[in-house]
Chains A and B, each alone.
Chain A
Amino acid sequence: MRLALEAAFWLLALASHWLLPEQLPLLGQVWIVALFVLSLDLLVGFAGVLTLGHAAFFGLGAYAAGILAQQGWGEPLSGLLLAALLAALLGLVTAPLVLHGGDLPALMVTLGLSLMLAEAANKLPGITGGADGLLGVEMWPVLGLFRFDLFGRTAFFYALAVLFLLFLLARLITASPFGLALRGIRGNARRMPALGTPVRARLVAVYALSAAYAGVAGALLAQTTQFVSLDALSFQRSAEGLLMLVLGGLGALYGALLGAVAFTLAHHILSEMSPLFWQFWIGVALVGLALAGRGGLLGLGALLLRRGRA
């Protein structure tokens, strides 16, 4: 049952290429956003560490991959790798600051760090292009075979393939003893040291992992749009990521994917219907789902499924 649903999800994602051929660029964005929300889920949903500044890693990854290509090395996969490594490194360096206190300090420190990074990018136009954005990003074909095209077909498959592979890795990790320990830390951080768990070390590890995921998502955006703007580092990106996670369901990997898909599509559809008021309806949905618990859309779906069977 579970496996069948999982297969259906990914087949539908793949099939969307033929079902919505006009919307390939949008769908490509959806996979990238989904990867970003997945990175938040690892940190917030599983380990219970709060953040309002995850765009720092997304943006760092975007600029790293963008600048690498701009400087003449347009090979996509090495761009992803560089983005992941740099973001993980930034995660390792900043983790002690973020994990120093409780929830509120974590929110403030992550927010502060991401604002600093955004301002630095703004003030260094020689490197980042500043407010004009990073131009001149030239990508080589993926695996030397698939050229990025104007219709977003390569971007669609490339982003979906990366999302799928990193999703499988996240699935493996969250089901592992390490993943169980993370959930234990979220469930009761006081008990874990009494079981012998070095809580700090586990949280630093997942923080760096989550940062790397966000960095790869940013790199995908830079590569598929061949452009990076300051928007990649914006507070709005961090906040919307959290919003999508809560919308989809915390602490469940498919919740992250579902939240990203639902939010981006709702954004697209609602903003065409009523350009001014689409945020109102997102707000209504968010308040409703947040009050209903941490389950989000995924929890709602599971509930309906159980009701249907009973």
Chain B
Amino acid sequence: MTALATEGLSRDFGGFRAVAGIDLVLAQGARHAVIGPNGAGKTTLVNLLTGALRPTAGRVRLGGEDVTALSQHARVKRGLARTFQINQLFPEFTPVQAVTLALLEREGLTARWWRPVSAHGAVVAEARALLDSLRFAPAEMRAATRSLPYGRQRLLEIALALALRPRVLLLDEPAAGVPPGESRAVLDAVAALPRDVTVLLIEHDMDLVFRFAERITVLAQGAVLVEGPPAEVARDPRVREVYLGEPAHG
């Protein structure tokens, strides 16, 4: 079954076509990566998929449903979660508060005003359990987010998306900027994603892509250049030329 698909997805900015007729199909449980040099249209593609931007032409389908006209939050409610290339966290919240907020939203409870958050004990407990599974120490769970090391913040970025229990997860350069010493935890979290979750990875880091992805789409100048399994993509001369800049070793 198709989890996420686009048909002829395009977006113009003025006269510039940032994304030009992209067709993508992700089967349920797919591990799919989108790579491409700077300016290839990756960020615009993410924004079109999540609903932050409306396409000039084309469609986005989520689990068979046409979601092209739906807002970001409506797509999230239908099972599409994302992480951000640059952390979008709540600096003053503790990780427990932030994940609790995400869980309350998943359960559709954030319009409730007549009971304190602490009365939703099961939700708070689930937040702790989720952070625990990502190996957050108890003290880290209770610290203000802004005081955490960058690698932990990156992990919290993923935790917020996981809390939504998505069917499709969009990871926008999850390991970007994480110092080598802390990147292991982030990569482990990505590798440990449940198998039924469909994952679309937007990435710069080739190691991560080739380790994780079962299928790769290479973008160049807003269009799909090549799509296929990693080995095939790595051998493709056009990819080497456009993406790697020069003929490289396999």
Contact = CB atoms under 8 A, between A and B. Distances in A.
Interface of A: 172-173, 175-181, 183-184, 187-188, 190-199, 201-202, 205
Contacts of A194: 50, 72, 76, 81-82, 84, 88, 160-161
A176 B117 CA distance: 5
A178 B164 contact: no
A181 B72 contact: no
A309 B115 CA distance: 33
A195 to B, nearest CB: 5
A184 B90 CA distance: 7
A203 to B, nearest CB: 12
26 contacts: A175-B117, A176-B117, A177-B111, A177-B112, A177-B117, A178-B111, A178-B112, A179-B117, A180-B97, A180-B100, A183-B90, A184-B90, A187-B90, A187-B91, A188-B88, A188-B90, A191-B84, A191-B89, A193-B52, A194-B76, A194-B161, A195-B101, A195-B160, A196-B76, A198-B73, A205-B111
Given A177-B104, A187-B91, A193 B72 contact: yes
B102 interface: yes
Nearest to B50: A194
Interface string B157-168: 000110010000
Contacts of A197: 73, 105, 110
B212 interface: no
Contact of A195 (B71, B109, B115, B164): B164
Interface in B18-58: 50-52
B92 interface: yes
B93 interface: yes
B170 to A, nearest CB: 10
Given A175-B116, A176-B112, A191 B76 contact: no
Contact of B105 (A173, A175, A195): A195
Nearest to A209: B113
Given A193-B73, A194-B72, A196-B77, A184 B101 contact: yes
Contact of B76 (A180, A193, A205): A193
A177 B52 CA distance: 25
Nearest to A193: B72
6 closest A-B pairs by beta carbon, nearest first, are A196-B76, A187-B90, A193-B72, A181-B110, A178-B113, A175-B116
A180 B110 contact: yes
B113 A179 contact: yes
Contacts of A198: 71, 73
Interface centre among B72, B82, B93 (most CB of A within 10 A): B72
B71 A193 contact: yes
B118 interface: yes
Taking each of A177, A192, A193, which has the highest tally of chain B beta carbons within 10 Å of its own beta carbon? A177
B117 A196 contact: no
B16 interface: no
A188 B115 contact: no
Contacts of A205: 111
